[in-house]
Chains A and B, each alone.
Chain A
């Protein structure tokens, strides 16, 4: 992937396929590091599946929804000297607290760090594709925090106007551009 924001889009799709109703994407940056967390309340994975989920060659047809996405993210993190971790609680065993958390840690000054890229387009694409899912996007930078919570937008828009309406998507894009731009 040319941008980390493309990996984020790809991994968040796994959460959606796992029937999540809330997907949280949290980026925490310092001058030297970037931590990416993608958390969902989806159906989770069994321990057996979790153990082999980052191995692209053990993926079988029944598991193709995961496929290459996690191995690519793991590679992107590890090639900067960083790491990736996955924690998951299966719905059958944890009826109240099921879900999956993917955390990846990057060293930004490493030569092989993939730039974050157009994260705004990733957020817009996710909302466009899954307007029924709630998203929290939070990007904590050294000097400010950029955030979007679709639940808040849903309250304003009511039930008749889907979040995937092109006008709403344009609003989301402009809101994020404004937040990134202010104070610079």
Chain B
């Protein structure tokens, strides 16, 4: 069994960081996790974002959230990236695209236009 000592170490590590209030992150990634999203493959997408944020030490700077059905089920898995008043909507996202979104958009600051809903509707 994984030890609770390791969990205590996480606690101490986190306490040493400046604890950011919810909503204070620079970027927010939101994954659609209703029945439609889950059936289309949203779970591995969500978990890829969580792992990438942990691996790249972006905790506190980037938040990952979940949302329900937004009525565009045929485009699921849908991922929205919020930064300030800007929103980018990615459609038909999978784990590979999620990694690319973290690398190019979240870290690099450049949205990937070809994966957005605008490109999908053309």
Interface residues of A (CB under 8 A from B): 1, 6, 9-10, 13, 64-65, 67-69, 72, 118, 121-122, 124-125, 128-129, 152-153, 156-158, 160-161, 165-171, 174-175, 178-179, 182
Interface size range of chain B in the complex: 20 to 34
**Cα distance A169–B15 in the bound complex, in angstroms:** 17
**B59, A174: Cβ atoms closer than 8 Å:** no
What's the dominant secondary structure at chain A's contact region? helix
Complex CA–CA separation, A178 to B69 (angstroms): 34
Looking at chain B's contact residues, is the secondary structure mostly helix, strand, loop, or mixed?
helix
Most buried by A among B1, B34, B50: B50
Candidates B8, B14, B46, B47; contact of A167 at CB < 8 Å: B14
CB pair B66 A160 closer than 8 Å: no
Q: How far is the CA of A13 from the CA of B34 in the complex (A)?
A: 8
Do A68 and B35 touch (CB < 8 A)? yes
Give chain B's interface residues, CB within 8 Å of chain A.
1-2, 4, 6-8, 10-11, 13-15, 19, 33-35, 38-39, 43-44, 46-47, 50-51, 53-54, 59, 64-66, 68-69
**Which B residue's beta carbon lies closest to that of A175?**
B2
Please name the residue on chain A nearest to B56 by beta carbon: A166
Q: Is the CB of B50 within 8 A of A171?
A: no
Which of A13, A118, A161 contacts B33 (CB under 8 A)? A13
Residue from the list A72, A124, A158, A166 in contact with B11, Cβ < 8 A: A158
Structural contact, A10 and B38, CB atoms closer than 8 A: yes
8 closest A-B pairs by CB: A166-B54, A175-B2, A129-B66, A161-B14, A156-B7, A167-B10, A166-B53, A68-B35
- Give A160 to B11 CA distance when docked, in angstroms: 8
Q: Assuming the A-B contacts A10-B38, A166-B53, are A129 and B59 also in contact, with contact meaning beta carbons closer than 8 angstroms in the complex? A: no
CB distance from B104 to the nearest CB of A (A): 20
On whether the beta carbons of B50 and A169 are closer than 8 Å, the reply is yes
Interchain nearest-CB distance for A145 vs B (Å): 12
Cα–Cα distance between A152 and B4 once the two chains are bound (Å): 9
What's the Cα separation between A166 and B50 when bound, in Å? 6
- CB-CB under 8 A from A179, the residues of chain B are 1
Residues of A with C-beta under 8 A to B38: 1, 6, 9-10
Known: A122-B43, A125-B33, A178-B1. A161 touches B15 (CB 8 A): yes
